[in-house]
C-alpha cells in the first residue's frame, strides 16, 4: 500500500502543476466576448432576415445609430449592456465602429484594459431593396 502511494505522488504533483498553468477566465471578459458575438449576429442577420433589415433601415431614417438598433434588438433582461460607438471609454465594453465598406461594422470587445480588445469581429449590415 505504501508503494502504491509513493508511485502516485509524482502523478499528483504533475496534475497540480498542470492545473496551475491554466489561466482563470474573467467572467466579465467572457460576457464581453459573448457581447461581441451577439452584436455580430444581430448585424449579420439583416442579410437574411427582412424584418431585421427593415428595422435597421427604419432606425437610420429616424436618425438612429447602430447602437440604437442593437439596444432595440436585445432582450430587456440582458445582463451585459455596455455597447458604445467610437473609441473605448471604459473597461468591459463592446465598441462598434463603421468599417471601410458601406454597411460594414468593426466590433471590438474590451476587458480590464482598453489598450487591446479581447475579441474582435466584422459584420455587414444589409439594407432592404427598394422596389
54 domain-assigned: yes
As a whole number, the mean pLDDT across the chain is 83
4 domain-assigned: no
Number of domains in the chain: 1
What's residue 117's pLDDT?
94
61 domain-assigned: yes
What's residue 2's pLDDT?
46
Q: What are phi and psi of 73, to 5 degrees?
A: -90, -15
d(CA 51, CA 56): 9
15 domain-assigned: no
53 domain-assigned: yes
What's residue 81's pLDDT?
87
Pairing outcome for strands 117-124 and 83-85: unpaired
What's residue 5's pLDDT?
53
Helix H or strand E segment including 101: none
Identify which of 69, 73, 93, 98 has the alpha carbon closest to the alpha carbon of residue 83.
93
Task: Tell me the residue range of the domain where 96 lies.
Answer: 28-124
CB atoms within 10 A of CB 130: 5
20 domain-assigned: no
What's residue 4's pLDDT?
47
43 domain-assigned: yes
In this predicted structure, the answer to whether residue 114 has a pLDDT above a threshold of 50 is yes
pTM of the model: 0.77
d(CA 26, CA 124): 29
Segment 66-70 mean pLDDT: 93
Q: What is the pLDDT of residues 3-43, one digit of tens each?
A: 545 555 555 455 555 545 446 678 899 999 999 999 999 99
Extract the runs of DSSP E, i.e. beta strands, from 74-116: 83-85, 93-98, 104-110
83 domain-assigned: yes
Amino acid at each position: 500500500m505504501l508503494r502504491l502511494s509513493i508511485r502516485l505522488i509524482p502523478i499528483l504533483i504533475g496534475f497540480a502543476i498542470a492545473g496551475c498553468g491554466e489561466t482563470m477566465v474573467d467572467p466579465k471578459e467572457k460576457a464581453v466576448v459573448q457581447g461581441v458575438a451577439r452584436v455580430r449576429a444581430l448585424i449579420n442577420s439583416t442579410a437574411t432576415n427582412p424584418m431585421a433589415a427593415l428595422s435597421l433601415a427604419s432606425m437610420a431614417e429616424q436618425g438612429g445609430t447602430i447602437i440604437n438598433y442593437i439596444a432595440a434588438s436585445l432582450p430587456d433582461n440582458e445582463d451585459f449592456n455596455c455597447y458604445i460607438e467610437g473609441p473605448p471609454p471604459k473597461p468591459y465594453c463592446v465598441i462598434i465602429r463603421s468599417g471601410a465598406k458601406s454597411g460594414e461594422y468593426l466590433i471590438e470587445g474590451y476587458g480590464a484594459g482598453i489598450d487591446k480588445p479581447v475579441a474582435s469581429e466584422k459584420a455587414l449590415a444589409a439594407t432592404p431593396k427598394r422596389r
